[in-house]
Amino acid sequence: MAAVGIVDYNSGNLLSVQNTLQALGAAPQLLHSPGDFAQVDRLVLPGVGAFGDCVRNLRESGLWDGVKEWLASGRPFFGICVGYQLLFERSEESPEVEGLAHYRGIVKRFPRGSLKVPHMGWNVARPVSTSAAAWAALPEDPHFYFVHSYYPEPEDPALVAAWTDYGVRFASALQDGPLFATQFHPEKSQDNGLQLLRNFLKT
């Protein structure tokens, strides 16, 4: 049974993520203090709300350094929505706030135009490599559920695991070894989201 830690910093859909992981047979636990990281072998960083608020909450929770150290260690990690955006240096949403800066790149706002912002609802995430273990047992062009107005733009295109089109083409998923992150919400994406998380638990 996979011991999965969910970072509890008052900025994520924690209950939904926890229930989904339990349904998949994992043993998820909410992490409240730096010492809790030693009890798990996989980490999930969810995120809902503004980039700057999430950074502030993560710092004030006392878990910021624990997440940074986990990322540096190369252990299995899954970032969801703003938990994906926080991996980068800055966001146009909160330009004065520095993110975790694990990767170079910025988080950009969708351009104003004919499409409604936020991008909300089902859309396709096209994997860069369908042979990658993260996408095992998923359909060729899987649909996932999105709710966001901003999206990361990694400086290194080799990090991109999937692309999605919504007025612009953006990196809807990132993979770097056992680190995976998505702009969409797998816990809200029914069978496809369950399969993606199941693949993560096998990492």
Q: How far apart are CA 19 and CA 26, in angstroms?
A: 10
- Cα 79 to Cα 92: distance, rounded to the nearest angstrom: 19
Residue 89 designated active-site: no
Please pick, among 54, 81, 102, 143, the residue that the annotation labels catalytic.
Answer: 81
Told to judge if 185 belongs to the known catalytic residues of this protein, a careful annotator would answer: yes
Q: What DSSP character marks residue 63?
A: -
Distance CA 80, CA 148 (A): 11
The answer to whether residue 54 is catalytic is no
Instruction: Considering the candidates 93, 102, 119, 187, report the single residue annotated as catalytic.
Output: 187
Sequence-distant (6+) residues with CB within 8 A of 111 are: 167, 168
DSSP H helical ranges for 28-106: 51-60, 64-73, 82-85
d(C-alpha 191, C-alpha 33), whole Å: 32
Burial class for 25, CB neighbours closer than 10 Å (0-12, 13-18, 19+): exposed
Half-sphere exposure of 134 (CA within 13 A, CB side): 23
Measuring CA to CA, which residue among 187, 134, 137 is closest to residue 162? 134
Strand 150-154 with 27-31, pairing: unpaired
Active site residues: 81, 185, 187
